[in-house]
């Protein structure tokens, strides 16, 4: 059961089919343009969408909004130091601000960055700087059925080849590996990457957005971690990094916030100089004092075993329910989301016409569920066509997830009714956020008779 009870509630929007149809048309069939007030169960992202605890809400009141040297900063700094084991702590308003600082202080045009897999905003910041991003995902991550427990690992051979080709100035390890399915990275793999980074003289950055989930999942299969608490496990991983970046909107259990942390004086100095120009003074870095307070408490709460066990179980329950229906899902389930493989599930829709996007439209129309494509629209050269159902932290109950499962069941039996999507308009960077699409040779109204309505 949920290791918390509900203290404040937010009414769930329940628009009927006709309103959903109008909303998705107005959104140019891109779920990012849907107003949240037209979404019943919102699994678009687990980023900044979780519920804060009563302890976090009360911490907000202690927020010290002094421009320089605010008390809130020192509480935040101590919490991040304890969490990461790193000395220098630099607050930023969210993860991509940390990525921008990295890209502009450590990279120059023509450089290369290697990674297990860069998250989309990290990649965009690298590319925006004129550098090249090289993903080296583990071969097992492409094997849907394999039960290999560390599908988030880097492919060490591919990474070493990239190093030998030259110009690699930075290594980024994303934990968990979001784009590869929220899969954990093993401590052993991170150690091997550390050795490569040392051999070729590149700093190792750990993108720690979901480090608590990573340690929880990894510990099940790694005897070395079994005697450690989650907090100790996190520090064991992060001890290997030169720089830690974190979008605290994930495992920071807050709605906004992030940080960079490092033991290296020279890097901390460079980051802070950049920070004052683009984010703010080093003791607030684009956040209010109250945000720093909530984040400090969030970092304490996220290492709670009961919280993590429940979270991972929610994801596993939904993944298991879909798998039992015969819907192809990434296995084993990751830490924050269920990944459905849309190209196989919708075998009648060619990959060129975005089967993943078609599924997001279908799920929304049938059950008011908002999911997101992680496929060719998001990354043109992605070898798979995922639909990601990200579970917000401490927000939905089993009944909400049962509604999602039911939505899939209905769409599964009627899947031939949905077809491909045409790309009407798309910006160059992060095109999925703002792209316009249209159904190709099918009419979304044809889903009216199977649409689920709340209260029926
Ligand atoms: C969300 C995320 C980011 C970017 O953080 P924002 O807070 O959205 O700017 C970076 N890396 C990973 C792995 C993420 O999940």
DSSP string, 292-308: HHHHHHHHHHTT-HHHH
Q: Which of 50, 124, 137, 209 to mutate to test the pocket of ligand 1 (most atoms within 8 A of CB)?
A: 209
Q: Which of 150, 245, 255, 253 has its CA nearest to residue 203? A: 245
Question: By alpha-carbon position, which residue is closest to atom 5 of ligand 1?
Answer: 95
Buried b (16+ CB within 10 A) or exposed e, 94-110: bbbbbbbbbbbbbbeee
Radius of gyration of the chain from its Cα atoms, rounded to whole angstroms: 22
For ligand 1, the distance from its centroid to the CA atom of residue 208, given in whole angstroms, is: 9
User: What does each of the 456 residues of the chain score in pLDDT, given as a tens digit?
Assistant: 999 999 999 999 999 999 999 999 999 999 999 999 999 999 999 999 999 999 999 999 999 999 999 999 999 999 999 999 999 999 999 999 999 999 999 999 999 999 999 998 999 999 999 999 999 999 998 887 788 999 999 999 999 999 999 999 999 999 998 777 899 999 999 999 999 999 999 999 999 999 999 999 999 999 999 999 999 999 999 999 999 999 999 999 999 999 999 999 999 999 999 999 999 999 999 999 999 999 999 999 999 999 999 999 999 999 999 999 999 999 999 999 999 999 999 999 999 999 999 999 999 999 999 999 999 998 787 778 999 999 999 999 999 999 999 999 999 999 999 999 999 998 877 788 889 999 999 999 999 999 999 887
Q: Residue 120 in contact with residue 131, Cβ under 8 Å?
A: no
Give 303's Cβ-side CA count (13 Å radius).
17
Q: Residue 357 is encoded by which pair of tokens?
A: 């996007």
Atom of ligand 1 nearest to the CA of 122: 10
Q: Where are the domains of the chain?
A: 17-46+304-450, 54-301
Q: Residue 168 in contact with residue 135, Cβ under 8 Å?
A: no
pTM of the model: 0.95
Give 166's Cβ-side CA count (13 Å radius).
1
Q: Residue 101 in contact with residue 271, Cβ under 8 Å?
A: yes
Q: Which of 208, 249, 257 to mutate to test the pocket of ligand 1 (most atoms within 8 A of CB)?
A: 249
- Which pLDDT score is estimated for 143? 83
Q: Which of 99, 128, 181, 250 to mutate to test the pocket of ligand 1 (most atoms within 8 A of CB)?
A: 250
For ligand 1, the distance from its centroid to the CA atom of residue 117, given in whole angstroms, is: 13
Residue labelled with tokens 């900063």: 73
- Which pLDDT score is estimated for 382? 77
Chosen CATH of 17-46+304-450 out of 3.40.50.200, 3.40.50.300, 3.60.150.10, 3.90.1150.10: 3.90.1150.10
For ligand 1, the distance from its centroid to the CA atom of residue 312, given in whole angstroms, is: 19
CATH 3.10.180.10 given to domain 54-301? no
Buried b (16+ CB within 10 A) or exposed e, 119-133: bbbbbbbbbebebbb
Q: Which of 50, 92, 178 to mutate to test the pocket of ligand 1 (most atoms within 8 A of CB)?
A: 178
Residue labelled with tokens 């099940």: 220
Q: Residue 122 is encoded by which pair of tokens?
A: 């990290």
Q: Which residues are catalytic?
A: 67, 119-120, 207, 209, 250, 432
Would residue 181 be called left, alpha or beta, if left means φ above 0 and alpha means ψ between -120 and 50 degrees?
left
- Which pLDDT score is estimated for 378? 86
- Which pLDDT score is estimated for 371? 98
> What is the DSSP-derived secondary structure letter of residue 53?
P
Which value, to the nearest 10 degrees, does the dihedral of the CA atoms of residues 120, 122, 124, 129 take?
A: -170
Q: What does DSSP say about strands 372-374 and 386-390: parallel, antiparallel, or unpaired?
A: antiparallel
Q: How far apart are CA 300 and CA 360, in angstroms?
A: 35
Q: Residue 351 in contact with residue 421, Cβ under 8 Å?
A: no
Residue labelled with tokens 């031939």: 416
Q: Residue 161 is encoded by which pair of tokens?
A: 């080849």
Q: Using the Cα atoms of residue 427, residue 430, residue 431 and residue 433 in order, give the sign of their dihedral.
A: negative
Three-state DSSP state, 149: coil
The pocket around ligand 1, CB under 6 angstroms, is made up of: 47, 94-96, 119, 121-122, 174, 178, 207, 209, 247, 249-250, 258
For ligand 1, the distance from its centroid to the CA atom of residue 92, given in whole angstroms, is: 12
For ligand 1, the distance from its centroid to the CA atom of residue 252, given in whole angstroms, is: 12
For ligand 1, the distance from its centroid to the CA atom of residue 50, given in whole angstroms, is: 14
Buried b (16+ CB within 10 A) or exposed e, 157-179: ebbbebbeeeebbbbbbbbbbbb
For ligand 1, the distance from its centroid to the CA atom of residue 338, given in whole angstroms, is: 18
Q: Residue 60 in contact with residue 293, Cβ under 8 Å?
A: yes
Atom of ligand 1 nearest to the CA of 178: 13
CA angle centred on 40, ends 39 and 45, rounded to 5°: 65
Three-state DSSP state, 341: strand
Atom of ligand 1 nearest to the CA of 97: 9
Atom of ligand 1 nearest to the CA of 179: 13
């Amino acid at each position: 059961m949920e290791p918390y009870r509900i203290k404040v509630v937010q009414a769930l929007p329940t628009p009927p089919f006709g309103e959903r149809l109008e909303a998705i048309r107005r959104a140019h069939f891109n779920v990012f343009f849907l107003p949240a007030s037209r979404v019943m169960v919102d699994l678009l992202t687990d980023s900044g969408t979780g519920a804060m605890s009563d302890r976090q809400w009360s911490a907000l009141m202690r927020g010290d909004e002094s421009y320089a040297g605010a008390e809130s900063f020192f509480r935040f700094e101590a919490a991040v130091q304890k969490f990461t084991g790193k000395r220098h702590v630099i607050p930023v308003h969210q993860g991509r601000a940390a990525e921008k600082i990295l890209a502009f202080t450590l990279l120059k045009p023509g450089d290369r960055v290697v990674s297990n897999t860069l998250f989309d905003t990290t990649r965009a910041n690298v590319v925006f700087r004129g550098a090249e991003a090289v993903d080296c995902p583990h071969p097992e991550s492409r094997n849907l059925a394999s039960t290999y427990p560390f599908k988030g690992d880097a492919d060490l051979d591919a990474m070493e080849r990239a190093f030998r080709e030259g110009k690699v100035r930075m290594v980024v390890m994303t934990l968990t590996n979001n784009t590869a399915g929220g899969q954990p990275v093993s401590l052993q793999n991170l150690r091997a990457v550390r050795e490569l980074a040392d051999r070729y003289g590149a700093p190792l950055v750990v993108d720690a957005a979901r480090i608590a989930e990573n340690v929880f999942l990894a510990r099940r299969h790694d005897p070395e971690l079994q005697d450690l608490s989650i907090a100790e496990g996190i520090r064991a991983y992060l001890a290997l990094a030169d720089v830690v970046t974190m979008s605290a909107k994930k495992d920071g259990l807050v709605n906004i916030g992030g940080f960079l942390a490092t033991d290296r004086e020279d890097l901390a100095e460079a980051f802070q100089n950049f920070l004052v120009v683009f984010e703010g003074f080093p003791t607030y870095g684009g956040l209010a004092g109250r945000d720093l307070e909530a984040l400090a408490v969030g970092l304490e709460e996220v290492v709670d075993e009961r919280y993590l066990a429940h979270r991972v179980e929610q994801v596993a329950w939904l993944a298991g329910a879909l798998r039992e229906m015969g819907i192809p899902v990434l296995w084993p389930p990751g830490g924050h989301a269920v990944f459905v493989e849309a190209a196989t599930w919708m075998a009648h829709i060619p990959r060129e016409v975005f089967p993943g996007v078609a599924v997001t439209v279908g799920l929304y129309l049938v059950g008011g569920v908002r999911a997101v494509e992680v496929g060719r629209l998001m990354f043109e050269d992605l070898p798979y066509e995922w639909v990601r159902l990200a579970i917000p932290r401490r927000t939905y109950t089993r009944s909400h997830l049962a509604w999602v499962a039911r939505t899939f069941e209905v769409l599964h039996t009627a899947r031939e009714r949905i077809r491909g999507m045409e790309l009407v308009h798309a910006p160059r960077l992060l095109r999925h956020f703002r792209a316009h699409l249209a159904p190709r040779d099918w009419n979304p109204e044809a889903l009216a008779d199977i649409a689920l309505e709340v209260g029926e």
